[in-house]
């Protein structure tokens, strides 16, 4: 999620970095305002879809048998749930909480904790930044000047190597420098 929900990289970002004694809490930034415009357009489109199907579905529910009624109620429930699902992307927040040698990853939607994990950080070198690329970089292999813009640059991943040897994804970003700063911020808070 680090490609869309970006963590702060310095302690000077007061709204998203909370330092309380030995506890450091990092919160992701929200989506840019242009995405709110996209959400408004999508919800408007869903509303007009609802207006278009409301009468035929209600008629199907009242005149059909139990199977038709189930399908009708399922469709209305699905259409009603779409705006909530869409808005959950806008009210998603990921937190990293560092307390001494314990690192917690917390995922929240609408301010409610949906998922959280706690890990033990034994050494400072257990956090590493690596390049990640999923597909072969064909444009770079052909190395023609007109293919430069099509090269797959991938992204970078901040990994935590846990005490039992597992690699845990902390964050990912298109800029390695930002992940290195995030790593430094997490390491220096002991």
SS3 (DSSP) at 95: strand
| Tens of pLDDT, residues 25-62 | 888 887 888 888 999 999 999 999 999 999 999 998 89
**Structure token digits, residue 164:** 């039992």
How far apart are alpha carbons 46 and 13 in whole angstroms? 37
- Would residue 75 count as lying in a domain? yes
- Would residue 65 count as lying in a domain? yes
- Would residue 43 count as lying in a domain? yes
Angle in degrees, 0-180, between the axes of helices 33-63 and 66-90, rounded to the nearest 10: 170
pTM for the predicted model, two decimal places: 0.75
3-state helix/strand/coil string of 36-90: HHHHHHHHHHHHHHHHHHHHHHHHHHHHCCHHHHHHHHHHHHHHHHHHHHHHHHH
**Structural domain range at position 40:** 34-90
- Would residue 131 count as lying in a domain? no
The pLDDT assigned to 2 comes to 45
- Would residue 165 count as lying in a domain? no
The pLDDT assigned to 1 comes to 44
The pLDDT assigned to 138 comes to 56
- Would residue 55 count as lying in a domain? yes
In b/e form, how buried is each residue of 163-177, taking b as 16+ CB within 10 angstroms?
eeeeeeebbbbeeee
Total domains in the chain come to 1
Q: What percent of the chain has pLDDT over 90?
A: 24
Backbone angles phi, psi at 141, to 5 degrees: -65, -35
How far apart are alpha carbons 89 and 43 in whole angstroms? 13
H/E segment holding residue 141? helix 138-142
Taking CA atoms, 45 is separated from 51, 53, 78, in Å, by 10, 12, 14
| Tens of pLDDT, residues 86-133 | 999 888 888 888 888 788 889 999 889 998 888 877 776 677 777 776
- Would residue 82 count as lying in a domain? yes
- Would residue 1 count as lying in a domain? no
């Amino acid at each position: 999620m680090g490609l869309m929900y970006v963590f702060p990289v310095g302690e000077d970002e007061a709204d998203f970095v909370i330092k309380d004694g030995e506890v450091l809490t990092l919160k992701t930034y929200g989506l840019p305002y242009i995405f709110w415009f996209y959400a408004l357009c999508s919800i408007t489109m869903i509303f007009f879809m609802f207006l278009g199907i409301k009468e035929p579905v209600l008629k199907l529910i009242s005149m059909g048998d139990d199977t038709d009624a189930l399908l009708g109620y399922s469709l209305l429930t699905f259409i009603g749930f779409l705006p909530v699902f869409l808005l959950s992307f806008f009210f998603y927040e990921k937190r990293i909480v560092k307390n001494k040698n314990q690192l917690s990853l917390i995922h929240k939607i609408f301010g409610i904790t949906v998922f959280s994990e706690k890990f033990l950080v034994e050494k400072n070198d257990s956090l590493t930044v690596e390049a990640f690329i999923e597909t072969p970089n064909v444009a770079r292999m052909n190395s023609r000047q007109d293919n430069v813009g099509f090269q797959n640059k991938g992204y970078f991943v901040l990994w935590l190597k846990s005490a039992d040897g597992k690699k845990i994804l902390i964050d990912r970003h298109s800029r390695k420098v930002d992940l290195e700063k995030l790593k430094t911020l997490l390491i220096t808070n002991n």
